[in-house]
Each structure stands twice: as C-alpha cells, then as structure tokens.
Structure 1
Amino acid sequence: MALIVVMSVSEFNRAVATIFLLILLVLANNVMADEPRIEVVGLFKDRAVIVVDGKRYFVKKGKTISGNIKLLSSTNQEVVLEVNGKEQRLKLGGRIGGFLKKPADKEVVIWKSSYGMFLTVGSINGFPVNFLVDTGATKVALNRRDAEHYGVVIDERLRRVMVSTASGYAPAFLVKLNKVRVGSITLRGVDAIVMEGNHPKKVLLGMSFLNRVNFNQKGQSLMLTSK
C-alpha cells in the first residue's frame, strides 16, 4: 500500500528549501575538508614558519611547500603566500582553509634575534606592540607613556611598588591588562607593572603571560603553545 503525505504548498516549499540547504552544507563540508589548513606561527625577513595540516615548515622566500603553497615574501609583520595560484596575505597567527576541522592548539614560534634576544609582535588591548620576551620579569612590564598609548588607565590610587632596574629601584603601578595577544594566542586579564619614566624601552613579555601558556626553547627558537 502506497503512503501518501498531504502537505500545503508552503510546507512543501519549506521542505524543499531544507533539503537544498542540507545538500549545500554537505558539499561545502567536503570542499573545505579537502583544503589545506594553513597557519602562520613565525615571521621574519624573507622566511616564515608555517603549519600546514598540523605539519610545521620553515620556509624561505621563493620556496614551495606541500605541493601548492609558495612563499612570495615575508617580513616581521606579514607573509604573502601563493596558495593554489591565489595570493594570500597573513599576519602572525593568521589562518586560512579547513575551517570545519577541529582547530589544533594555538602556537607561536619566536626566533632569537642577531642580538641574542627573543623579539616578537603582538598587541595590548588591540594596539600593536613589539615584545621582548623576558623570563626574568615576573610580570609583563611597560613604561607609563606606552601604557597610556595602549589604553591602560593609570589611577594614582592603584597599588604602587618599587621594582629593580639596571639603574636602581623605580616606582611602578600594578595593573591588569584587558587583553594581550602574541600571534594566535590571546589572554585576558594579564597582570602587569607600569613603570614611571622611559624604562623599559620595549614591552617585556614576562611570566604573568608566559606562565599561562606552555613554552619551550629549542636552540634559537622559543615555542609558545596555548594551554
């Protein structure tokens, strides 16, 4: 015996639209699952560290990896890739492709400079920052002028402390930074100290940030991975 389903025109149209949407989702999932998942975890002049589908590559300008990904140019601010014949511009922590796949742990690779220091770029409260990694600093540290530029409110009623510097002790304020980003890793509510005067010249990425990520030094590189 045949089963006959009776429905109104509007119900029929909704059913057709639902089936069509499901077909589109299945097709999109199949296409995106085949795309390589690319993430930029390290940026330098004419070279970059790129993760493709979980595999890390150290790439020099003009080289091709994974068959169809070519490094056209790179600075410490952004990288230009050619992916499947299309030009893509990405900053540190930038990602493309494979968005329906489960994301891996976020990671950033920082390379030691010619001066023997680990320098990287990021942001505080959305403002671009050049960081100097300092495992000897108990907290993220910055001078007052930089702090005010990054939107940190300095209230004279904040707790004041004395901190040791190369030239002696200096007064500082204890503050909490709303958001600190290094590459693809973003932390909120990061403890910091704001020092009077022009010290430190660069923002110190201290242990109040580093203790909240996994970090491991291997030779000339320092890898940060989200917990």
Structure 2
Amino acid sequence: MYRFRSFVAGLALAFSSVLPAAPQVQVVGLFPNAAVLKVDGQRQLVKAGQVGPGGVRVISADSRGAVLLVDGEQRSYGLSREYSDGFAAPRKARLSVARGEGGHYWVAGSIGGQPLQFLVDTGATSVALNEGQAQRLGIDYRNTGRPIRVNTASGVAQGWQIKLDRVKVGTLEVFGVEAVVLQGGSPGTALLGMSFLNRVRWREEQGALLLESKL
C-alpha cells in the first residue's frame, strides 16, 4: 500500500510538472471597448472581441475595468499600477528635447513600432499625419477612419480621424492615441499634438521641452 501511494504521488507530481504555467495577466490601460494587456511581460492594446498575448481575449472594457477570457475562464480585472520587486513604484519615463531650428522641438519616435520624426505642436488638437506617412506606416485610414473636415493654416482640408494603437517618443509610450490623417502632403512632418501631450506631463524649461510619464 505504501509503495502504491508513493507511485501515485510520483505520477501526479510528474504530470503536474508538464502542465503549462498560468499566464501572468495585468490590465495596464483602459479605454472604451479596449484594454492594454500585459501578459507575461508582453504589452498590447486589444479591442473587445479580439485576442491578445497568451491567447487572452478581451470580452469588454470601460473606465472601471475589463472582463477577460483567460484559459477558458471569464474573469474581471481592474487597472494595475505595475509595481516592481519590493513593491517600489516604477521609475517614470522622462525625455528632454532641445529647441531646434526655428525655435521648434523635433523628436524621433515611432507609431506602432515603426520609426517616425515628429514636430511637437501644442496648437494641434491631435497627432497629425499626411497620407504618404500613413500609407508607409500601413494605416488603413480610408476604411477604418471617420471622414472629417479639418481647419489648417492653408484652409479647410479633408481628413480621417483614427486611433493609433501606440505612439512612442524616447522611453515614453502612450496607447490608444487619437490622430488625424490629412489628404495630400501636409503636414510635411508628423505633428505630435495634444492627444499625446495630454497623456504625459510636459513643460518648457531653459530652452528645452521636458516630457515625463504620469505613472
């Protein structure tokens, strides 16, 4: 009897060792019908009805939390602040941009992981791209965007309002950023407008623009 029990215990232990570990799931951003998931260290903006990292599906999401399908089980998640080891608050991402030609601030960044040069424009309501830039980035703005008319320095222009999954400058990354694609070749440089800047802290100091994450 002792040997039989030992055999069963050993079998159970061996079986449990081959089972995959449950994914470590956090919700680190919330938007209407979308959530930024962090699953086993991988981040992604996932819309309701879609599947993200680790096979985690977003059922619904709003400002209060998200309902996710994890390993076949539906669970509710609140917003996580992502504490590091020892429960110390994570370091804030910071970036200093020197004033450049014409007194403007130029900064290298990316949209969806693809590099892009930005001109910081506090007078622009949102991030703004021209058609060529949007096409190079693979943005299907004509089918996914909402047609709008936009007032520009040159007059009224046709545009499409879209939402970018992620915009990054330096180490600052913002998910779910409102943007507009303008018909034609203007603006010549992508504009980093207030739809991004309002999601971070920023100030001008001694000829430099200082950007800092809010978390």
Q: Judge same fold: TM > 0.5, yes or no.
A: yes
Tell me if 1:215 matches 2:207.
no
Which structure 1 segments of 5+ residues have no match? Answer: 1-98
CA contact (8 A) 1:180 1:187 kept: yes
TM-score (norm 1): 0.54
Identity of aligned residues (%): 41
Distance in 2 of aligned mates of 1:114 and 1:132: 11
Quickly say closer, same or farther: Cα 1:157–1:132, change in 2 above 3 A.
Answer: closer
What is the aligned partner in structure 1 of residue 103 from structure 2?
Answer: 116
Name which of 125, 133, 153 aligns with 1:146.
133
Distance in 1 of aligned mates of 2:144 and 2:128: 19
Tell me if 1:181 matches 2:180.
no
Name the SS for the 1:108 alignment partner.
Answer: strand
Name the SS for the 1:155 alignment partner.
Answer: helix
Larger C-alpha radius of gyration, 1 or 2? 1
Q: CA deviation at 1:158?
A: 3.0
Alignment of 1:64-143 (within 5 A): 103-143=90-130
Tell me if 1:162 matches 2:149.
yes
Tell me if 1:200 matches 2:183.
no
CA contact (8 A) 1:133 1:205 kept: yes
TM-score (norm 2): 0.57
Distance in 2 of aligned mates of 1:151 and 1:213: 26
Name the SS for the 2:141 alignment partner.
Answer: coil
Question: Runs in 1 of length 4+ with deviation above 2 angstroms?
Answer: 99-103, 155-158
Q: Which amino acid aligns with 2:96?
A: V
Q: CA deviation at 1:165?
A: 1.6
Aligned residues: 129
